[in-house]
Structure 1
Amino acid sequence: MRGQLGADVDGNSLWHEGAVRPEAGVADPRWIVRKGPEHEGLKGLLRPIWCQPMFFIWVRGGQQVGGGEGSLEASQQVTDNWLLPEAPQGMHRGVSSFRGAGTAAKMTSPPLGADDAIPLQSAAPAVTGTKPKMSTTRKILLILGFLSTLAAIALITVAVTQNQPLPKNIKYGIVLDAGSSHTNLYVYEWPAEKENDTGVVQQVEVCKVEGPGISGYSQTTEKAGPSLVQCLRQAEGVIPLKQHQETPVYLGATAGMRLLRLENKDAAEKVLSSVEKTLRSAPFNFQGARIISGQEEGAYGWITINYLLGNFKQSGWKKFLHSLKSVSETSGALDLGGASTQITFVPDEISSESPQNLLYFRLYGKDYRVYTHSFLCYGKDQALQQKLARDLQSTENSSLFDPCFHQGYQRTISVSNFFKNPCTSVEKKQFPFSQLHIEGEGNYEKCRRNIQNLFNKTDCPYSSCSFNGIYLPPLQGDFGAFSAFYFVMNFLNLTSDDPFTLDEVASAIKKFCARPWHEVKLQYHQIKEKYLSEYCFSGAYILSLLENGYEFTTENWKRIHFLGKIGSSDAGWTLGYMLNLTNMIPAEEPPAPPLSYGSYVGLMVLCSLVLVSVILLAWLLFHKPKCLQKGVV
């Protein structure tokens, strides 16, 4: 065992320890530190390599006074880049190297001069104040650390990139409902990839057009189109700018325009021309403005109701808050507007008695065959006109006492204008007066009798009929009643989640009709008088239509559910219209992630294996188990 020691000038003996690698002939440098000129606290530091321990010995006056395994004090921490401080006066610094398997050895030396030193062994360079060379192990650990960092970064980057939310590929559509009394604009959206060829559509915006319905512009047809501009601009703000040109816009005119076409075909065409001009000037993809048939209106309303109730089993639909107890797969639809009413449902058995009342649909991969019929002139507004026309036939003077208006209510109407309507023209005759003065009586029972005269129940060429000789199969399932059905019943507080009985509904309407007009007007002062004055008639008419027209009875009355909104969407025909149209809009592939599923999983596994392997190898190199000690410097 040989080594080089720093010695003081007084010749005291020094203790030096050497924990040596087992194999002979391998140089193992060890640092020696001695503190203080009084030779107190001489400390021999052995830098640990791999799994070897570190030994130190305390010396005082040339005698060993302590020692053991351990490490430097915190204030004396040593790293690979550490250089010995300048030796105290009378000390040398140097490097010792050892051979053999000794654990600790006592070395003495004769007094040495300040500049004398024992010669170095060949493989142990003397320390001259320069940084020692980095060990091979240290280099390997640095490389492995770099590789593990790269693997971790790659793993995180791939995971974050692959799992980022994909941009939504949303399509938009606009439908305008041009009804008899007003026009509404609806904006719908759906995923571009669709589901079983039908879009999962939801309503995102509704705008009520100011003024009357477009049929009300029969005398000023050029104003029909411009009336829509404000709502079109509102739609522009809802739909992203880059999708304006690809967004289809449709206008469907209902019973009001059907009547105008019967009354004045030229005026109806001019109204549609004005509307088309405005819609073409909008930044959207104009797809048409037309008068839809009564059957279409009824069928699209049926689609809306069943879509919103989730009966088509499409994904993304919102559950209706009411718990419908339907025994059938779908629910029927009851629609009431100002000029027409529709009934639509899937009958239990398909009859060949009236094939013109059957329509066929394919929605979400399934075929449906529905019964539907629309009764023109039997909307609540036109029904009132029909009743007044009949009442007028029996009056001999210009005054009419009407049981369907509140007691104390008065109204004057023009007789000549009254019979221009196609729904009342059949009752036209010559009258000795030009103005008709109406006074209310508020008599519910008498009002119901007058209304029932509107329904012809005598002529029926089929096995069963609704009224006016129209075939009606047996009612099947629950029914959603919307539009004016809902608005009137909601005003009368008859739309609670727990359906009222038929007797309870009749009693509530009777009680409302009996109230004097001044009392009603005072309580509902925020409602326009024209609409407020007609709620008594409308309530009585709805009851007569459902009971006497559509054959609902005390037993099945609770199967009717009055619906305004279902989730965030209005109950009406426009959503069904949009759903049916999406069948003709090509589906698109959904946005794809950067990597396929297989590639993503494979890359994640590879990065994980690399990271684990690098960490394991670094741990083995740092701790150097005995099984790996051989051959590693």
Structure 2
Amino acid sequence: MMKRTRLDEYVISRLCPIVILISLLLLLLIQSTNTDAQVLTTRKAAAPSRRGSKAYTVIFDAGSTGSRVHVFCFDHNLDLIPVGNELEFYSQVKPGLSAYAKNPQEAAYSLKSLLVEAESVVPPNLHPKTPVRVGATAGLRSLEGDTADRILQAVRDFLKDNSSLKFRPDLVTVLDGSQEGTFQWVTINYLLGNLGNRYSNTVGVVDLGGGSVQMAYAISEKAAEKSPKTTDGKDYVKDITLKGTKYHLYVHSYLNYGLLAARAEIFKAVGASDNPCILDGYHGSYRYGGSVYDVSASHSGSSFIKCRRAAVNALKVNKSICTHMNCTFGGVWNGGGGAGQKNLFVASFFFDIAGEVGFIDRKQPTAKAKPADFRNAAKHACKVSFQNAKATYPLAEEGDLPYLCMDLVYQYTLLKDGFGLDPLREITLVKDVKYKDYLVEAAWPLGSAIDLVSSY
């Protein structure tokens, strides 16, 4: 064995700390590399989990004028993600289920093309996990006897035998009017990013459909505690929790006061023949709710003042029957107003008719307006003859032309006398709401989908 010299001992004494330091650095590097590998492995493992958290829902809106299907997809944060190139898949057919009152099976099969389209956009492996809901609205609610029940049962049988989606019989129903109003409120406030905020930071909603009109807005807890019951003992206020925040939602649906149904109510109030709301020179027939009305204009032509009286009469705007401190029309409690109603979004036929007569740009998703705009447009429309209507209103649907005076007068009367809005109050007419880089329809099916995917 070689004997160490003092020089050797000196070198060793100097090198040992360096070797130890290098060894420690190498050990730390190895551990760091392992840690990075573990993090990378974890990240790679998490990605399929996020991809797997996609949740689809299929919503059939069985309305009074037609049937529509909506397909939505949500991520794990309940944010909408695209279905194909759009943020939702949408398709529709006409007429609606109520048009097949005498043939329930034919009503069910009218949904076949929509079902095929909906299933084609949902990944096949997710079909068994994708719930399907059919929500029928005022069109079926207005049918007599057990007709609606027989149509709904035919739809249940059809879906059970023909669909690969997750089917539950109880999800094929006639939507209660308050459900429709609630879902509409959820839709608009979700798209605006209001959910999770205080109730005072949400917006109120009025939705004018074909057969019914809904009002919904959030009220304070104090107001909710004092809320009365409806005449049939139901609650005006629904408690819902969304994104960790509890809302007391005032919601009421007025059956037979949607735009198409209101025409029939006005005919019942003042007669369909010699009617002051029909454009001068028109004679024809109007069908709604299984009834046919022989419609003709007044001999003196349409009149804004006389039509206003007819609309007020049809709305039953009679404060003497109000048993609460504040009412809308027909003795219905108005919710008391408050911060949740200060910003009002008014949807569906309000937007459509305003676009047809041209006081808003219907190519835009929303428009600011006032109830007085409907009054001014009505005064103009009531002076137009049916013969000149198409030239005056080239954007109007052919079937709406004879009723433009009536529709505008009714909408103004509903806002001013029915809901008690100041004619000069600014409201937002809404068709779509911008969500991220997309425009999404401001309709109840999205709110229904949010409710559905949250409960699965």
Q: TM-score range by the shorter chain?
A: 0.7 to 0.9
Q: Secondary structure at the match of 2:445?
A: helix
Distance 1:338 1:228 in 2: 20
Q: 2:206 aligns with which of 311, 334, 341?
A: 334
Higher helix fraction (1 or 2) = 2
Distance 2:98 2:309 in 1: 31
**Residue in structure 1 matched with residue 142 of structure 2 by the alignment:** 259
What count of residue pairs does the alignment treat as equivalent?
392
Unaligned runs of 5+ in 2: 1-29, 82-86, 230-234
**Residue in structure 2 matched with residue 243 of structure 1 by the alignment:** 126
Q: Secondary structure at the match of 2:219?
A: coil
2:414 matches 1:545:
yes
Alpha-carbon deviations, 1:457-486, whole Å to 9, x = none?
Answer: 231111111111111133232111112222
**Residue in structure 2 matched with residue 123 of structure 1 by the alignment:** none
Q: 1:233 to 1:362 in 2, by over 3 A?
A: same
1:206 deviates by: 0.8
1:157 deviates by: 8.9
Distance 2:348 2:412 in 1: 15
Q: What amino acid does structure 2 have at the position aligned with 1:371? A: Y
Q: 1:527 to 1:158 in 2, by over 3 A?
A: same
Write out aligned runs for 1:434-583 (5 A): 436-439=294-297, 441-456=301-316, 457=318, 458-476=320-338, 477-495=342-360, 499-522=368-391, 528-554=397-423, 557-558=425-426, 560-567=427-434, 568-583=439-454
2:224 matches 1:350:
yes
2:43 matches 1:183:
no
For the 8 Å contact 1:185–1:207, the answer to whether it is kept is yes
For the 8 Å contact 1:492–1:509, the answer to whether it is kept is no
For the 8 Å contact 2:108–2:158, the answer to whether it is kept is yes
Q: 2:273 aligns with which of 400, 411, 418?
A: 400
2:165 matches 1:284:
yes
Write out aligned runs for 1:72-471 (5 A): 166-167=47-48, 168-169=51-52, 170-191=54-75, 193-194=76-77, 199-201=78-80, 203-208=87-92, 210-260=93-143, 263-265=144-146, 267-280=147-160, 281-287=162-168, 288-313=171-196, 328-348=200-220, 349-355=223-229, 356-392=235-271, 400-412=273-285, 436-439=294-297, 441-456=301-316, 457=318, 458-471=320-333
Q: Secondary structure at the match of 1:189?
A: strand
TM-score (norm 1): 0.57
Greater CA radius of gyration, 1 or 2?
1
Q: 1:353 to 1:283 in 2, by over 3 A?
A: closer
1:520 deviates by: 2.0
Alpha-carbon deviations, 1:299-324, whole Å to 9, x = none?
Answer: 1111111111110159xxxxxxxxxx
Q: Secondary structure at the match of 1:546?
A: helix
Distance 1:575 1:541 in 2: 28
Q: What amino acid does structure 2 have at the position aligned with 1:310? A: G
Distance 1:159 1:295 in 2: 49
Distance 1:255 1:419 in 2: 10
Q: What amino acid does structure 2 have at the position aligned with 1:220? A: N
Q: 1:500 to 1:524 in 2, by over 3 A?
A: closer
1:190 deviates by: 0.5
1:159 deviates by: 9.2
For the 8 Å contact 2:367–2:428, the answer to whether it is kept is no
1:419 deviates by: 8.8
Unaligned runs of 5+ in 1: 1-149, 315-325, 393-398, 422-433, 586-633
Write out aligned runs for 1:29-48 (5 A): none
Alpha-carbon deviations, 1:215-235, whole Å to 9, x = none?
Answer: 111112210111111111111
1:156 deviates by: 11
**Residue in structure 1 matched with residue 26 of structure 2 by the alignment:** none
Identity level (%): 26
Distance 2:360 2:275 in 1: 27
Distance 1:308 1:173 in 2: 17
Q: 1:286 to 1:531 in 2, by over 3 A?
A: farther
Q: 1:529 to 1:365 in 2, by over 3 A?
A: same
For the 8 Å contact 2:374–2:408, the answer to whether it is kept is no
TM-score (norm 2): 0.78
